[in-house]
Amino acid sequence: NATLQDYYKEFMNHKQSAVQHGNIKQQSLVDYTNLRGSLTEFEKLTKKKLLLMDVTEDMVNRFKTFLINNRGMNNNSVSKRLKSFKIFLNFCEAKKYMKLNFDYTQIKVKTYEPTIVTVSEEEFQQLKTWEPGKYQKIKDLFLFGCMTSLRYSDLISVREHHIINGNIVKQSEKTDIEQIIPL
């Protein structure tokens, strides 16, 4: 009998092909990979290899509880995992691998708007003069990120070839929009 992970492997191959053809973004693949890891950990905890027929409303609720209690995820992260799980279940139903006896589209977790924390000009100036010792590279990277407004994923991937005529010219990892940032 094929396991849930066997079907998930096929799903991941399908999604990798979609990334290669430009139909979905690379970040989506990261989300699906994270879900696979969470499902694997859930299987270890339950000491059972999941089958598609094991996907019930109760199983999904236990998985949700596992993500919150065992993985320490907040509701926004759990919601993101469950969204990926629903996309996987859609794939399985479209391939006629299964027919669920509950409406998995109604699986929801209440999300919230995260608090946005900013650095004040005074704090920024204090950071500039701080002598961090062995944390100098971390300080420099943080300050550079503040001055360029680059997301972390973009910041760590900046290379010399992205510097053109005194600007950082780079495609955003998340949005695929070209960014031109004056140095």
- Mean predicted confidence (pLDDT) in 104-122: 87
Instruction: Give the model's pLDDT for residue 12.
Output: 96
Question: What is the SS3 string spanning 94-163?
Answer: HCCCCCCCCCHHHCCCCCCCCCCCCCCHHHHHHHHHCCCHHHHHHHHHHHHHHHHCCCHHHHCCCCHHHE
pLDDT at 174 over 80: no
pLDDT at 123 over 90: yes
Q: In angstroms, rounded to a whole number, what is the distance separating the alpha carbons of residues 83 and 89?
A: 10
* Mean pLDDT of the residues in the chain: 91
- Mean predicted confidence (pLDDT) in 23-48: 92
Instruction: Give the model's pLDDT for residue 48.
Output: 92
- 89-107 pLDDT, tens digit each: 999 999 999 887 788 778 8
Report the DSSP pairing between strands 163-164 and 178-182.
Answer: unpaired
Residue corresponding to tokens 């499902």: 39
- 126-168 pLDDT, tens digit each: 999 999 999 999 999 999 999 999 988 899 999 999 999 999 9
Closest CA to 107 of 67, 53, 48, 139: 67
pTM of the model: 0.70
